[in-house]
Structure 1
Amino acid sequence: MPMVSVGLWQIFLIFLRLGLTSFGGPVAHISYFREEFVARRKWLGDARYADLVALCQFAPGPASSQVGMGIGMALGGVPGSLVAWLGFTMPSAIVLATLGMAFVGFDLASVEGVLRGLKLVAVGVVAHALFGMARTLCPDVPRAILAVLAAIIMIASDTVTAQFAVILGGMLAGLILLRGKADVSAAGFGKPHSVKGAVVALCAFFALLILLPVAARMDQSGLFAVIDGFYRSGALVFGGGHVVLPLLQNAVVAPGWVDGETFLAGYGATQAVPGPIFTFAAYLGAALHSGGGIWVSALTSLVALIAIFLPAWLLVVGLLPFWDRVRHMPLMRAGLLGVNAAVVGLLAAVLYDPIWTDAIHDLFDIGCVALAFVVLQWRIIPVWALVGVGALAGYLAELVI
């Protein structure tokens, strides 16, 4: 596939639209990205996209946000990764920071129908992405079996350890079974990236892990303690999404910065907005100083937001150049074929639980998901319009049923 040259404003606007419409959690976000950049715009192929997803599954941090940063970096270099993150994160961060400043919870009961419709759209989006990826990445019996086994293992044991075992198992299976199917001429991720810059980013990632706790103990204002708490939460979480909640609770509730009721209210509000779950940090940062004035709350919210996403960005910038080089090696290509099949299995497992089990309750829900799938398959309306239709249909259904 030819290299695509995309302006930073175009990257920002595309991700801003995704940040406004991508409901459903991390796996749904990955599916929205695939629909936008692989299926619709054809700026990435399925294999290249799956390679990027595999890298972000290996690395700690918010996987879907890292995939977005990686796409931005492929299209616009390091500045592209930043504007992609900004566009995708900004909508939910602004809403949650505002709630944190107001120090109020979000009444989910008032929008229950809307949330129901958005969940059903998310099921359709993930199912459509899974169908497309399975056709491309599991075209033969060995890879189909790998995907099925990966899904079974993850459904039986939905843990971070099982996720690592599935990915590593897929790589080993690819090395053994798929050497003859590897295409060593696979294209890179886009613009060439500096190895020196990657080394600097990785050094910064580890240096901040070591130095921020020291700075927190020496700083009397407490600012570095806040930065350290959120940076550590973003740097040490594997699996992303909801897995970060215990780390954040330990970082802000245990020291008494935020009480448990405020924490849970913010978590509820996070479920009602699009974009990454890590923007919960914007709410918590604002709630830390909700009585100190709007500018103090806004500044603390921004600091918390940047701190929790910074390790994810440093890892993308640090790992992607090396990943883009080693993935061309014949053995690595064979291993990645197995990993990509395992990723399909991971998506299938998450589609079943928690996405399907949480959203599907009756035949009406199944019919809505089937309709969303058909709309996506035949490209009847854009994804953002489907999200709006789903929200409206869920609201009206709640009034009628």
Structure 2
Amino acid sequence: MTGRPRHIGPEERRARLGLRQRLTDPARAATAEEVADSLVALHGTDPATVYLAVGARLADSGSTVERVERALYEDRSLVRMHGMRHTVFVFPAALTAVVHASTGLDIAAKARTALVKDMIAGSDGRLTEAWLDEVEASALAVLARRGEATVNELTGEEPRLKEQFAYAPGKSYEGVHTVSSRLMRVLGVEGRVVRGRPLGSWTSTQFRWAVAPPHPELPPAEARSALLDRWLTACGPATEADLKWWTGWKAKDLRAALAACGAVAVALDDGLTGYVAAGDEDPVGGPEAPWAALLPALDPTPMSRQERDWYLAPSMRPALFDRSGNVGPTVWWDGRVVGGWAQRPDGEIAWRLLDTEEVGREARAAIGAEADRLRAWVGDTRVTPRFRTPLERELSSR
């Protein structure tokens, strides 16, 4: 592209979002793998988010739980692992090598250094790096033999994992850390172990661990370029601030990746510069009909960027976000957040509009239909977000 960058306004950005994030009826997916591939990554910090995010985007959501569980634990076409910003995500299996090389290596090196330093200092030198090497080799051998194991099962066969050490003594946040919890996290970001099937239902936060499947080792710069190209295709346009926030990369690495993948600069509102994937500069028309969606807490669509004013009014943030910046359940109408929702103890999906000026009868009917669809496939399961927000708490308590 030459000359002045093409302008992409909020209306087209919302159209791209609805179509590419599989939120319009015609764009909905047939499989969990299609959803994950379209979104690049599903937030996995709260296990329920993965299922709710997929269910919101399936043409037939009736078998959401079975489809996601099969993809995660039988076909292994989706993998739950640490990724950007030290956060747990669910990725398409084909993308794990890219995520590991582009993001995991740097995080892993820092995490291991911190573990060794904290462990030695907190045990007065009783626990050493050589000792840790022996324990982790033993733990990995147990995992390889068992296939999957909980931390308790691992410590049953390798008792040294139960060893504890003081953390930040004398500080306001001092505490006691157990070798098992810190070590498994480090092995996760190193790409050596992945989270397996949970102990309970699909909402459980207690996971088994498994040895990570092998993947090729890619050059980090090449991996960053590939990941950024995938993300811009799914979520672009995005500003440099959006991309830095999502990836957690240094500015120099981000800019090098933008150049390497051929990202194209476009003009956004308020004088901002955004980027789209190479070849994605042409205008995108809106969906044939407006669409409604009920997206879960930490859903990748609202959480995929730092600058959100073009689809979420700043006045709604206090009700929909917690103090750490985690988004709660949101109600969408035609590309904008218009409210929030929650599940009550009796299973009802309660929702409230925070923007009533442009939400008429058609929108209310469509949102109500989405609430009914969600309740139908969730069934008897009760879902409480791991990070609760003011509106979610209020709606769920009535």
Q: Hey, which of these two has a bigger chunk of strand by percent? A: 2
TM-score bracket relative to the smaller structure: under 0.3
If asked which structure has higher relative contact order (CA below 8 Å, sep 6+), I would say: 1
Q: Hey, which of these two has a bigger chunk of helix by percent? A: 1
Larger Rg: 2
* TM-score of the pair, normalised by structure 2: 0.26
* TM-score of the pair, normalised by structure 1: 0.26
